Amino acid sequence: MIDLSEDQFGARLAGVLSPSRPIRTPEHLRGRERDLVTIKRALYATGRHIFIYGDRGVGKSSLAATAAYQYQSSDAEPIFIAGSLDETFNSLIANLVSQAIGRPRTESRKARRSAGFSWHGLRLATDMEISPLAIDQQIKSIGDAAELLKHVAEVHSEKPVVVVDEFDAIPDAQDRNKFAALLKQLGDQSVNIKFIFTGVGASAEELIGAHASAFRQLETLELLRLGWEGRRQIVEYAAGAFNLSVDSNVNWRIAIVSDGFPYYVHLIAEKMLWEAYVSREADGLGWDHYHDGLRAAIESINVELRRPYDKAVSHRAPEFEDAVWSTADGEDLFRSLSDLYGSYSVIAQKRAGRRVLERKDYAEILRKLKNASYGHILDPLEGRHGWYTYHEKMLRGYVRMQAEVNGVELTGEKAAPRQTTHVPNNARTGFRGSSIPRGVRIDEPLSDDPERREKRNGDVE
């Protein structure tokens, strides 16, 4: 039983789960210990910077923020800027400078109040507000930006670090390319400042598009979906903060449904704990909390993430939803038509009143799911006829959640030969770690409660 006021409970919950903002401390960042070590060691090298890339929702921002706080000296905080459709190279550098000189210091504040410098006729100091626009207008070249950052590094802190989040959102490729040239100049001039970039993409080269020589300044890190133990540790840690246990099979189910995206694990666990708090009876998190929490999680997921699914299934024949669910079965990110149709046939047979489509009719639905009017769920796999992958990988987890609350458990994961088996990064599956051990029950035991069975099999709008 959770014996806390609602305010106390909410505050503690926000301290252990973070579905809405990046994590900034290692104790809350589960399953990324090896990546943090890689970044830490890379940053020891003079002139070395970090580029974290991968699918949306795998936790790039949290890893970058945590690494930044680990590296940044205690006399200041890291500088955070983010790409967007209206940002340019100049505007981002100007925002960086404005943050760096305007942020309150934690040590020797009186002495640092007078710290500043003159640059291109501008007086930039920590005791005055500086318009980013005024700085932007004075940056005429990459050399100007490098000179400006050299001054900033001298007044900001002993070990300054800058996080450039959502780098892929900068619309102009030439503006993105300028950052590669900037890093080279910073290295050539031994400027004491570190950059950590994050971006959605298949490679750092795809995002930054620079000449190969520029990548001597970059340690590139592809962040894959979270491994099994990391997923489970998030839930166990959160429940433990309230002295609650977690049914092991329920936790495996969360690990499957989340598809390795930390956002979903955090969100489902948050909603489950609220259910446990409201019930006031729980000593642990079980199947009832899981299903109630899963429904609440689906209802609160961002509309932008839900929109493709809604386009694909709303006002369509019922078979469309079954077909969409089939695309999220299994652990492979790249699947053939034959494999997908096998998943679909099993799903359709579980659905009362559904006819099983012929393969050619199912294939026609898949072709439609490549179109924007049907949510652009799928992309064809280049060079392999009849193979598909998700256009937005994070959507797979949402599709799994929708199937789950409607009574269809997608359990395409492969059983491991031994419980302790671990495998390296896998290009097909997109995450590191073992598959589910043998003997783990990942389906919910049948309930003797008619009301619970009805709720379990009910539809979610």
If one compares 428 and 298, the residue with the highest pLDDT of the two is 298
Q: What is the mean pLDDT of residues 107-134?
A: 57
CB 446 within 8 A of CB 412: no
Distances in Å between the Cα of 255 and the Cα atoms of 117, 230, 268, 459 are: 52, 9, 10, 22
Q: Is the pLDDT of residue 54 over 50?
A: yes
For residue 75, what is the enclosing H or E element?
Answer: none
Q: What is the mean pLDDT of residues 192-216?
A: 78
Average pLDDT, the chain: 84
User: Cα(38)–Cα(40) distance, rounded to whole angstroms?
Assistant: 6
The pair of structure tokens assigned to 316 is 């369509």
Q: What phi-psi label fits residue 323: left (phi over 0), alpha (psi between -120 and 50 degrees) or beta?
A: alpha
pTM, to two decimals: 0.83
CB 295 within 8 A of CB 387: no
Please report the pLDDT score of residue 342 as a whole number: 94
Q: Is the pLDDT of residue 121 over 60?
A: no
Please report the pLDDT score of residue 427 as a whole number: 41
First to last CA, the chain: 31
User: Secondary structure of the chain: what % helix, strand, coil (to 5)?
Assistant: 50, 10, 40
Please report the pLDDT score of residue 300 as a whole number: 92
Q: Is the pLDDT of residue 110 over 70?
A: no
User: Cα(235)–Cα(37) distance, rounded to whole angstroms?
Assistant: 23
Kindly report the number of other CB atoms within 10 A of residue 50's CB atom: 26
Lowest mean pLDDT among 345-349, 404-408, 446-450: 446-450
DSSP assignment string, 227-289: PHHHHHHHHHHHHHTTT-EE-HHHHHHHHHHHTT-HHHHHHHHHHHHHHHHHH---SEE-HHH
Residue corresponding to tokens 């309930």:
447
Q: Is the pLDDT of residue 298 over 70?
A: yes
If one compares 111 and 117, the residue with the highest pLDDT of the two is 117
User: Cα(388)–Cα(297) distance, rounded to whole angstroms?
Assistant: 28
Domain boundary assignment for the chain: 33-222, 302-409+444-461
Please report the pLDDT score of residue 204 as a whole number: 73
- Helix/strand/coil for 182: helix
The pair of structure tokens assigned to 116 is 């500043």
User: Cα(296)–Cα(309) distance, rounded to whole angstroms?
Assistant: 17
pLDDT category at 104 given cuts 50, 70, 90 is very low
Q: What is the mean pLDDT of residues 336-341?
A: 96
How do residues 401-447 score in pLDDT, each as one tens digit?
Answer: 999 999 999 875 443 433 333 333 444 444 445 566 666 666 666 55
Q: What is the mean pLDDT of residues 283-299?
A: 94
DSSP-assigned letter for residue 188: H
Q: How would CATH label the architecture of 302-409+444-461?
A: Orthogonal Bundle (1.10)
Distances in Å between the Cα of 397 and the Cα atoms of 55, 291, 324, 400, 455 are: 13, 15, 12, 5, 22
pLDDT category at 99 given cuts 50, 70, 90 is confident
Q: Is the pLDDT of residue 118 over 70?
A: no
Q: Which CATH code of 3.30.499.10, 3.40.50.300, 1.10.150.20, 3.40.50.880 fits the domain covering 33-222?
A: 3.40.50.300
Lowest mean pLDDT among 4-18, 65-79, 415-429: 415-429
Kindly report the number of other CB atoms within 10 A of residue 349's CB atom: 10
